[in-house]
Structure formats: structure tokens, C-alpha cells
Amino acid sequence: MFVTKAVARREFLEARGARPRAEGLLASAQQVLPDVYRVALYVSMGPEPQTGALIDWLLATHHEVLLPILYADNDLGWGVAPGAADLVPGRLGLSEPPIDLGSDAIATADLVICPAVAVARDGVRLGRGGGSYDRAIARVRPGTPVWAAVYDTEIVDTLPHDPHDRPVDAALTPNHLIALRPSVDD
């Protein structure tokens, strides 16, 4: 059991940084992707579960991909992925689409796959601490599945959380999709 979110975040990020290589999400997503058209995703960085091949596959199979644009206040806007070569540099070294559709564009997604540092079996998602994805998930259309991208070792029984934290429905790992129980605080 972790005492605080900061302690949990530090431990998970240290373990992730020690991984010999980052693994991709493509194979597991291909097995479980529901019949959807527009997928909100993110461009992975460093040791995060890799999304590049998944984005390329989604675009090649005629899906539309929304990617985040990080605003100065840490909120997220969204733009349609034009292809990896056409992304532009964004804040904090992120790669972003060149056209911003606004923060409410995530409500048009049929599936949201968001980054996480860890998730608990009750759906609590631990992010990097800026609140960007909690705000974005709050705008998701009711009934739209929200999956957190993590490694198998980052799925735990419990995590500390705050009232503003938004739960996720499942954990997508490089190996499979794990359904999570809704949080009792929902």
C-alpha cells in the first residue's frame, strides 16, 4: 500500500525507467479493439508502453486518431493525427497534431486510451500529477470506454486517490486488456 500518490508515482516511474526496453501496445490492441471509428490516444515517450505502431495501424485501417495538445495550464486540446511524420513539437517535448480542435473534441471519441503510471483493480488511475487526463476524461461521452495503457506490473490492488481523479474501465498492456471494477467512489 502506498502512503501518497507522489510516493507511488516515484516508485512506478523508477521501475519503468529500469525496464530493459519499452514494449508496444499494437498486438494486444489488435486482439481486443472494439468496433470503433475515432480513438483518442497519445504519442508515447521513453519507457511508456509504445503507441507508435498502434497509431500507424489505426490510421492504415481507416480509423481516425485524436492526439492530445498540451496547453500551458496543463489542460488538453485534441487534434486529428495526420501521420507520425506530420506531428509538430509541443510543450515538454511532446509531439502533437498541427491543428487544435479544442478540449471538448475528446467527447467525440468512441474509445479513449490514456497514459498512466499505474492503475488499481478498482479503476483508479495514477498519472504523472498534472491533472491533464483527469480533466480530459471528465469530458468523455458517458458510456465511452476509457483504457489506461500500462505494463502488467503496474496493475495493483489499490492506489491512493483524490476526489477529482477519474476512474478508467480497463488496463491495456502489451499482453492483454484487463477489465477493472468501477471505483466505489463513483
Note the pLDDT of residue 130: 86
Amino acid identity at 127: G
Note the pLDDT of residue 52: 93
And the C-alpha cell for 152? 502488467
Is 132 annotated among the ligand-binding residues? yes
Can you tell me the distance from the alpha carbon of 137 to that of 133, in angstroms, rounded to the nearest whole number? 6
Is 125 annotated among the ligand-binding residues? yes
Is 130 annotated among the ligand-binding residues? yes
pLDDT at residue 182 greater than cutoff 80: no
Q: Annotate 51-73 with b (16+ C-beta within 10 A) or e (fewer).
A: beebbebbbeeebbbbbbbbeee
Is 133 annotated among the ligand-binding residues? yes
And the C-alpha cell for 179? 477489465
Note the pLDDT of residue 85: 63
Note the pLDDT of residue 63: 96
pLDDT at residue 183 greater than cutoff 70: no
**Each residue of 124-167: pLDDT tens digit?**
999 998 889 999 999 999 999 999 999 999 999 999 998 888 99
* 186 vs 55: which has the higher pLDDT: 55
Note the pLDDT of residue 140: 97
Q: For 50-54, what is the mean pLDDT?
A: 95
> How would you class 106 by CB atoms within 10 Å of its CB: exposed for 0-12, middle for 13-18, buried for 19 or more?
buried
Note the pLDDT of residue 19: 93
Is 129 annotated among the ligand-binding residues? yes
And the C-alpha cell for 90? 509541443
Note the pLDDT of residue 184: 46
Percent of the chain whose predicted confidence (pLDDT) is above 90? 81
Mean predicted lDDT score pLDDT of the chain: 92
Count Cβ atoms below 10 Å from residue 171 Cβ, excluding itself: 25
Is the overall model pTM greater than 0.85, yes or no? yes
Is 43 annotated among the ligand-binding residues? yes
Residue-range domains of the chain with CATH: 5-179 (3.40.50.10420)
**Each residue of 84-114: pLDDT tens digit?**
568 888 888 888 999 999 999 999 999 999 9
Is 48 annotated among the ligand-binding residues? yes
Q: Hey, which residues does 76 pair with through a beta bridge?
A: 70
